[in-house]
């Protein structure tokens, strides 16, 4: 929060609009926690601002938005329990409900609007911003909209969380959004996030945020600690077993030297009882989550 | 007592039909609505507080009455007095009633076709003030008690009694257009009149409409057409209904120029308006989410505004169903399972090319991280499609041959496999350098050359 001299007493609603260049400013309204303390420290107000247009730039739409935004989009405990609808306007691929449930969203709030053209996307987003409840609008804009359209959206954001997802090539375009964040895939399971435009000093170093997809956290907890292989691996190991790629074999077993040198993770503890048990009821379906070490353990 | 008299624009027999059409609309303001001669009389003294005061009520009624085609109106403290002022077209003045009525011509009170008008003109009686000055017993003897009674009622010396109109059980209204209309969106202007009447009737009967039908026809009934608009929640708001109708009319093409319109309410439900707050609130300017969703569905199409429903199945493409958002969702009895689920699911799965035996996507070879997860399923129940209804059904994976079952399979599985095609997939978590975490599967798992498909993206 900027500290103004006592002689300048601004009304409360103008206070966030004034900040010193060396300090990160405040958000004009409420904020939603982003889920990472490092990112909250860099965002004005300590989170994603509600009631303003926020732009998220990704190198390719459809690769990382849920990993970045799921902690902010799920109902946050102390906030209003009756959140409005979550509108997905023009996502690049059809959303998958079990995956969204794993992100912490509720099925009743999800609304998929299949808008195709740029005009339809902008119009649908504007209509969803006119609802009474405090909702969340996720708008994918692969095409470049005219700046006055973005200004309209920003002006009508009201009490909604409005996130516009645009390709990274739009970073060079002028935009009326007060907050622009660029995210890309980082090494391992992380995302690299840089704040391109905000009320505050320029953001110098990119943040590396650990971001395991929410759906994998329950099934694969140990993966959060280890790094996945960074480059493609050879397919077959000497045993000729096509099931398991060489890189995932336990340490000490025969594998390609390059893979062993990297100290790859062991997936031994991978098989919690839940996946096998959940499918036990379906008579006509057999599904099991198998890893090499699990089979080895079972066979003796 | 505060009376309003509304005189429709047309004269003659059509005026009676127009006045009857005004009755349902007028009944939303007060239960005391009556028809007298060719006009409609309303007594609104008891409704002033509900509608926010005399000035607010006057503005609202006058604005809506102008839209409905009322030519003249007047406010007074007696019904017949208001009728006389409306017929004469007198401007509104804040003077005592007698002072306002005295200068009016006799035809204003008696009607232009009263048989005694020439006689009264002969004896020099031209205005109501003159008539009032004549001796009362002479008037009663010469022209009948009826004339005296009308005069007394107009000046407030005698109480008027009316039979108040009742709202009809069903709503069906017609409208003859002044000029022929060629394009469907231009019908909206005329349909607004009918929607105002519908809103009034709904308010009078404490109902909300969930389906209404607008019908049109050309001259002599040629080329009739109709359009039914449905809403998920009952509504009474004429503006909202007009916007919905406008969105639907934008996609209608008229076969012939249209001369007449008809509106009827198909499905109504008891509906109480939400209570108004004591203090005005900016949030109240916004609409309910459901109304916005219906507007989106009206413009984009019902199949493009969707809500998900969870289903129980082992195959990922059957674990959800997308239903149109403007209909109420059925309650989902299913619970999800704990397996890894991507945030996006491609429909249909995308075949991947192979590079050196490994699947490749967008020019990058994918690294397989985790797996395999075997999903075997028979195609039961028969494929209804992932998007319901009318969307593209989920393309089935290539069915595996039944003879590839492992030897330890239960007898039921073999029997099933003999009659139904089995799908077998091995799911893997894969990673591409710039495409993120992907969910790919290989189907069928044991054949060569391997066939890989991209099914989901862990975004």
Residues of B in contact with A92 (CB under 8 A): 344
What pTM was estimated for this model as a whole?
Answer: 0.61
> Do residues A179 and A153 lie in contact, with contact meaning Cβ atoms separated by under 8 Å?
no
Q: What is the pLDDT of residues A29-44, one digit of tens each?
A: 788 889 899 999 999 8
Residue A58 has pLDDT above 90, yes or no: yes
Q: What is the dihedral of CA B261, B262, B267, B273, to 10 degrees?
A: 70
pLDDT-derived band at A113 (thresholds 50, 70, 90) equals: very high
Least confident of A82-86, A257-261, B230-234, B406-410: A257-261
Whole-angstrom distance, CA of residue B33 vs CA of residue A213:
66
pLDDT of residue A267: 36
Contact check, Cβ <8 Å, A285/B314? yes
Residues of B in contact with A134 (CB under 8 A): none
> Do residues B76 and B97 lie in contact, with contact meaning Cβ atoms separated by under 8 Å?
yes
Whole-angstrom distance, CA of residue B8 vs CA of residue B20:
10
What is the mean predicted confidence (pLDDT) over B134-162?
Answer: 90
pLDDT of residue A259: 35
Residues of B in contact with A29 (CB under 8 A): none
pLDDT-derived band at A247 (thresholds 50, 70, 90) equals: very low
Smallest Cβ–Cβ distance between A219 and the set B293, B340, B357 belongs to B340
Contact check, Cβ <8 Å, A63/B369? no
Smallest Cβ–Cβ distance between B366 and the set A85, A98, A232 belongs to A232
β-sheet bridge partners, residue A134: none
Residue B453 has pLDDT above 60, yes or no: yes
Give the orientation angle of helix B136-143 with respect to helix B145-155, to 10 degrees: 130
What is the mean predicted confidence (pLDDT) over A194-201?
Answer: 89
Counting residues of chain B whose pLDDT is more than 90, the rounded percentage is: 20
Backbone angles phi, psi at B252, to 5 degrees: -100, 140
**ipTM above threshold 0.95:** no
Q: How many CA atoms lie within 13 A of A59 on its CB side?
A: 11
pLDDT of residue A134: 74
Greater confidence (B282 vs B30) lies with B30
Whole-angstrom distance, CA of residue B322 vs CA of residue B310:
9
Q: How many CA atoms lie within 13 A of A63 on its CB side?
A: 24
Beta strands in B327-435 (DSSP E): 344-355, 358-361, 364-365, 367-378, 422-432
Q: Please name the residue of chain A whose CA is at the shortest distance from the CA of residue B283.
A: A132
What is the mean predicted confidence (pLDDT) over B395-418?
Answer: 48
Residue B389 has pLDDT above 60, yes or no: no
Residue A87 has pLDDT above 90, yes or no: yes
Contact check, Cβ <8 Å, A66/B459? yes
Instruction: Give which of A29, A86, A94 to mutate to test B binding, by max B Cβ within 10 Å.
Output: A94
pLDDT-derived band at A294 (thresholds 50, 70, 90) equals: very low
Contact check, Cβ <8 Å, A96/B343? yes
Q: Please name the residue of chain A whose CA is at the shortest distance from the CA of residue B338.
A: A275
Residues of B in contact with A100 (CB under 8 A): 308, 343
pLDDT-derived band at A219 (thresholds 50, 70, 90) equals: low
Q: Please name the residue of chain B whose CA is at the shortest distance from the CA of residue A280.
A: B314
Counting residues of chain B whose pLDDT is more than 70, the rounded percentage is: 88
pLDDT of residue B333: 72
| Secondary structure of residue A160 in the 3-state scheme | coil
Greater confidence (B421 vs B58) lies with B58
pLDDT of residue A143: 92
Residue B28 has pLDDT above 50, yes or no: yes
pLDDT-derived band at A66 (thresholds 50, 70, 90) equals: very high
Cα-trace Rg, chain B: 36
10 Å CB burial of residue B424 (0-12, 13-18, 19+) is: buried
Contact check, Cβ <8 Å, B340/A60? no
pLDDT of residue B413: 60
pLDDT-derived band at B416 (thresholds 50, 70, 90) equals: low
Residue A275 has pLDDT above 90, yes or no: no
Q: Please name the residue of chain A whose CA is at the shortest distance from the CA of residue B412.
A: A284
pLDDT-derived band at A89 (thresholds 50, 70, 90) equals: very high
Residue B406 has pLDDT above 50, yes or no: no
Contacts of A277 (CB under 8 A, 6+ apart): none
Contact check, Cβ <8 Å, B366/A158? no
Residue B313 has pLDDT above 70, yes or no: yes
What is the mean predicted confidence (pLDDT) over B146-161?
Answer: 90
Q: What is the pLDDT of residues B41-84, one digit of tens each?
A: 999 998 888 888 889 999 999 998 888 888 899 999 999 999 99
Task: Please name which of B236, B240, B195, B189 lies closest in space to residue B214, comparing C-alpha atoms.
Answer: B195
Smallest Cβ–Cβ distance between B319 and the set A98, A127, A243 belongs to A98
């Amino acid at each position: 929060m900027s500290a103004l001299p006592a002689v300048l007493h601004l009304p409360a609603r103008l206070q966030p609009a004034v900040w010193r260049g060396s300090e990160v400013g405040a958000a004009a309204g409420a904020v939603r926690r982003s889920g990472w303390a490092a990112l909250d420290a860099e965002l004005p107000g300590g989170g994603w601002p509600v009631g303003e247009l926020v732009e998220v730039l990704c190198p390719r739409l459809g690769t990382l938005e849920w990993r970045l935004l799921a902690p902010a989009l799920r109902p946050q405990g102390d906030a209003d329990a009756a959140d409005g609808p979550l509108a997905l306007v023009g996502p690049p691929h059809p959303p998958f409900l079990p995956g969204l449930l794993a992100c912490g969203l509720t099925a009743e709030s999800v609304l998929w609007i299949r808008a195709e053209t740029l005009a339809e996307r902008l119009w649908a987003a504007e209509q969803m911003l006119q609802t009474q409840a405090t909702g969340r609008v996720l708008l994918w804009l692969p095409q470049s909209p005219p700046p006055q359209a973005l200004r309209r959206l920003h002006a009508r954001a009201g009490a909604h969380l409005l996130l516009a997802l645009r390709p990274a090539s739009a970073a060079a375009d002028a935009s009326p959004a007060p907050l622009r964040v660029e995210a890309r895939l980082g090494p391992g399971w992380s995302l690299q996030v840089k704040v391109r435009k905000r009320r505050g000093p320029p953001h110098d170093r990119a943040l590396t945020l650990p971001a395991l997809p929410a759906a994998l956290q329950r099934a694969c907890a140990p993966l959060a600690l280890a790094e996945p292989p960074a480059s493609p691996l050879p397919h077959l190991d000497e045993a000729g077993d096509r099931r398991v790629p060489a890189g995932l074999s336990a340490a000490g077993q025969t594998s390609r030297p390059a893979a062993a040198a990297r100290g790859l993770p062991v997936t031994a503890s991978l098989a919690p009882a839940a996946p096998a048990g959940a499918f036990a009821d379906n008579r006509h379906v057999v599904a099991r989550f198998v890893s090499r070490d699990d089979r080895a353990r079972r066979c003796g | 007592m505060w009376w309003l008299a509304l005189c429709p624009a047309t004269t003659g027999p059509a005026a009676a039909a127009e006045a009857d059409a005004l009755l349902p609309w007028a009944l939303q303001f007060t239960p005391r609505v009556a028809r007298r001669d060719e006009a409609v009389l309303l007594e609104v003294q008891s409704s002033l507080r509900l509608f926010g005061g005399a000035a607010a009520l006057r503005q609202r009624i006058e604005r809506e009455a102008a839209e409905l085609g009322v030519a003249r109106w007047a406010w007074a403290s007696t019904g017949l007095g208001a009728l006389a002022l409306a017929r004469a077209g007198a401007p509104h003045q804040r003077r005592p009633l007698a002072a306002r009525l005295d200068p009016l011509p006799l035809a204003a009170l008696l009607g232009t076709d009263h048989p005694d008008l020439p006689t009264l003109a002969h004896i020099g009686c031209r205005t109501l003030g003159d008539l009032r000055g004549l001796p009362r017993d002479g008037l009663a003897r010469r022209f009948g008690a009826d004339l005296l009674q009308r005069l007394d009622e107009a000046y407030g010396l005698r109480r008027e009694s009316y039979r108040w109109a009742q709202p009809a059980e069903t709503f069906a209204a017609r409208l003859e257009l002044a000029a022929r209309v060629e394009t469907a969106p231009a019908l909206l202007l005329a349909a607004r009149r009918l929607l105002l009447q519908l809103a009034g009737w709904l308010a009078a009967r404490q109902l909300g409409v969930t389906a209404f039908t607008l019908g049109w026809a050309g001259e002599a009934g040629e080329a009739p057409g109709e359009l039914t608009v449905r809403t998920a929640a009952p509504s009474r708001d004429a503006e909202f209904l007009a916007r919905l109708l406008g969105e639907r009319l934008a996609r209608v093409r008229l076969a012939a120029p249209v001369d007449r319109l008809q509106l009827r309410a198909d499905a109504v439900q008891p509906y109480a308006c939400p209570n108004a707050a004591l203090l005005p609130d900016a949030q109240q300017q916004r609409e309910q989410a459901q109304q916005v969703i219906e507007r989106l569905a009206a413009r984009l199409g019902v199949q493009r505004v969707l809500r998900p429903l969870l289903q129980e199945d082992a195959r990922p493409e059957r674990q959800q169903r997308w239903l149109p958002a403007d209909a109420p969702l059925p309650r989902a009895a299913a619970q999800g399972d704990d397996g890894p689920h991507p945030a996006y699911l491609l429909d249909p799965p995308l075949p991947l090319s192979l590079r050196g035996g490994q699947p490749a996507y967008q020019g990058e070879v994918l690294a397989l991280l985790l797996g395999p997860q075997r999903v075997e399923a028979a195609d039961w129940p028969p494929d209804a499609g992932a998007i319901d209804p009318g969307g593209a059904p989920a393309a089935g994976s290539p069915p595996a041959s039944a003879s590839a079952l492992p030897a330890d399979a239960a007898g039921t599985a073999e029997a099933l496999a003999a009659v139904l095609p089995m799908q077998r997939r091995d799911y893997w978590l894969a990673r591409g350098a710039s495409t993120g975490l992907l969910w790919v599967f290989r189907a069928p798992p044991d054949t060569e050359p391997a066939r890989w498909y991209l099914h989901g993206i862990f975004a």
